[in-house]
Chain A
Amino acid sequence: MTSLPEPSAIKLGLVIDLDICVGCQACVVNCKEWNTSGYGAPLSDESAYGAQPSGSWLNRVHAFEAGVGEDAKTVHFPKSCLHCEDAPCVTACPTGASFKRAEDGIVLVNEDWCIGCGLCAWSCPYGAREMDPAEGVMKKCTLCVDRIYNENLPEEDRVPACVRTCPTNARHFGDFGDPNSDVSIMVAERGGYDLLPEQGTKPVNKYLPPRPRRQSNDESVSLLAMADVATPKGFWRWMDSTLEKLG
């Protein structure tokens, strides 16, 4: 059913910390690896190698520059499905293939029903859906639904593949329905925000802004001051002058 369910008490999603993401693409690769053998058909590529590689991915890392001068920042910007509460991709779907789970709010595609019309991808403002070039069905982030509840995995692995693999801990998984969860606290403390709030999709995933640049007026930590080495004394002075004489 592609009508949206009543908002669920449990709202699973991700927090993405733009302050610490270094753009290493590990989450992109691990997402592809997990999902090519997990939920649904393999995530295929039209051309995996060669000059113009292309294929379907569920998570991509963009890079933006913001500001000018010394306060400018380069921001690596991972983006996967935001599991929106008012998901337009779900209501647009004519077949019932796209749905939002009533129990935890995860947005999924039932690939056996999908006709590959692409309307859900048109409806998503974030570019979170990509058509599988081999299967002709719509692909999107599953929030690793086949990991997070998977009792065959050790407990520490029951988080999304992208979260598990991130070497800098820039991605966090949790329940936004619970105000005391780690992710809710992180969002409250760091001013986590929605992407494109004016589109009215009410995304569950939140982004943490880059922290402002640390101001340092302390001369002693200036690199320049550190480079300005004082005249050597004792043994070092002797070596300095001897080396000097050697030419």
Chain B
Amino acid sequence: MHPAWSIIFFTSISGLGLGLAGLIVLGLLDLSLFSHLLIASSAVFGLIGAGLLSSTLHLGHPERAWRALSQWRSSWLSREGVLAVLVLASLACWFLFTLFFGPPPLWCGILILLMIVATVYATSMIYGSLKTVACWHHPLTPVCYLMFSACGGSVAFLTMLALFGQPTPQMLKEITLTFLVGAWTLKYAWWWALDNRGSASNIETATGLGTIGKVRSLMPPHTSENYLQKEMGFVVARRHAIKLRYISIFFGALLPIVCVIFGGSSAGILSMATIFHMIGIFVERWLFFAEAKHVVTLYYGDEQLSISS
């Protein structure tokens, strides 16, 4: 699949913002100073908002984007939109309440956290529900999205604690490390599944001509690339993909883990951890698209759906 920057940016940035918001609403950050409240709320709205805005960039008609809130009964994209709007509205209420009356009761935070989990899940299911892209259509796809949001959010949360000069509970560090290790282990399992899972579809089932013998594409229907090939025909070569997987683990897991373990409560080092993690996620998200093969490629020259080496 074509790795569109607007979508890569959207899923990574809004995932981070939602993870961060999920920890803030649990009341683990002291927001009694107005400046802290301002920074925390701008970070959350900035990240989620930038993500949502960039996701409208690849639309043919961004001015009609509101229509996407209507089909939540059947469409994961619509569910994601509705949930994101609900989350943004309840976060606004949460921050306003904090501003005027101090921290809201914990159950409010837990409710928002549940909505956040649902939003990230809906984002992941836009991809996870597509039968046409076999490597996305896997139970680990939403798990990975949720875990990345959790570990990105918690690294960013540690950074914010350090920035505000608030004490970092040891347990929070341990939870962050657990998220980091867990997320990337699951992602590794996802890659393993991608490498080792066949698909029931091949050029014979696509054409129904297998009864005659081995099928080959003879001529494409047109002389230059069409929309389908541009949008769905992109696949990164396997040897590059393997290198990029390790680069994403290096930036997304290894460097942040080292920073969190040895960084103490240095805001500088923890900011680096957040940035490294983001770089790792960008590479991971680029690969998520670039490694994914769409079944329509069977009509355009591919005979199998496995990635070529």
Contacts and interface: CB of A to CB of B under 8 A. Distances in A.
Contacts of A218: none
B214 A68 contact: yes
Nearest to A46: B227
B65 A124 contact: no
Nearest to B199: A198
B215 A64 contact: yes
Contacts of A102: none
Given A92-B75, A127-B299, A193 B216 contact: no
Nearest to A60: B221
Interface in B203-249: 203, 205-228, 231-232
A36 B212 CA distance: 37
B61 A119 contact: no
Contact of B70 (A57, A95, A116, A126): A95
Contacts of A3: 71, 73-74
Nearest to B219: A63
B212 A66 contact: yes
B207 A64 contact: yes
Contacts of A119: 75, 77, 126
B74 A117 contact: no
Nearest to A78: B221
B74 A64 contact: no
A2 to B, nearest CB: 5
Interface in A1-43: 1-4, 18, 28
Which bucket holds chain B's interface residue count? 35 or more
A123 B218 contact: no
B71 A95 contact: yes
B290 to A, nearest CB: 15
B201 interface: yes
B68 interface: yes
Contact of A94 (B77, B208, B214, B226): B77
A122 B130 contact: yes
B212 A198 contact: no
Contact of A130 (B203, B212, B217, B226): B226
Interface stretch (A131-139, A161-169, A227-235, A236-244): A131-139
A214 to B, nearest CB: 15
A153 interface: no
A54 B224 contact: yes
B169 interface: no
A97 to B, nearest CB: 8
A88 B131 CA distance: 9
Given A68-B214, A94-B70, A117-B68, A199 B295 contact: yes
A13 to B, nearest CB: 16
A62 B219 contact: yes
Interface size class of chain A, counting residues whose CB lies under 8 Å from the partner chain: 35 or more
Nearest to B203: A64
Contact of B228 (A53, A65, A130): A130
Nearest to A212: B212
A64 B218 contact: yes
A74 interface: yes
B81 to A, nearest CB: 7
Nearest to A90: B74
Given A122-B232, A131-B60, A62 B221 contact: yes
A52 B229 CA distance: 14
B61 A125 contact: no
Interface in A49-73: 51-54, 56-57, 60-68, 71-73
A75 B208 CA distance: 11
A113 B64 contact: yes
Contact of B132 (A63, A114, A136, A199): A199
B306 interface: no
Contact of B207 (A66, A118, A130, A198): A66
A62 B229 CA distance: 14
Contact of B213 (A18, A61, A66, A136): A66
B296 A199 contact: no
B87 to A, nearest CB: 17
Nearest to A199: B131
B171 interface: no
Contacts of A131: 60, 227, 231
Nearest to A121: B231
B184 to A, nearest CB: 27
Interface of A: 1-4, 18, 28, 51-54, 56-57, 60-68, 71-75, 77, 79, 88, 90-97, 113-119, 121-127, 130-133, 135-137, 193-200, 207, 209-210
Interface of B: 1, 58-62, 64-65, 67-71, 73-78, 81, 126, 129-133, 200-201, 203, 205-228, 231-232, 294-296, 299-300
23 contacts: A2-B71, A62-B219, A65-B215, A66-B210, A91-B74, A93-B75, A94-B70, A114-B60, A115-B60, A115-B61, A115-B67, A116-B61, A117-B68, A119-B75, A123-B132, A124-B132, A125-B296, A130-B227, A136-B60, A197-B205, A198-B201, A199-B132, A199-B201
Sort A-B residue pairs by CB-CB distance and give the 9 closest, nearest first.
A116-B60, A136-B60, A67-B213, A94-B78, A60-B221, A66-B212, A94-B68, A127-B296, A63-B219
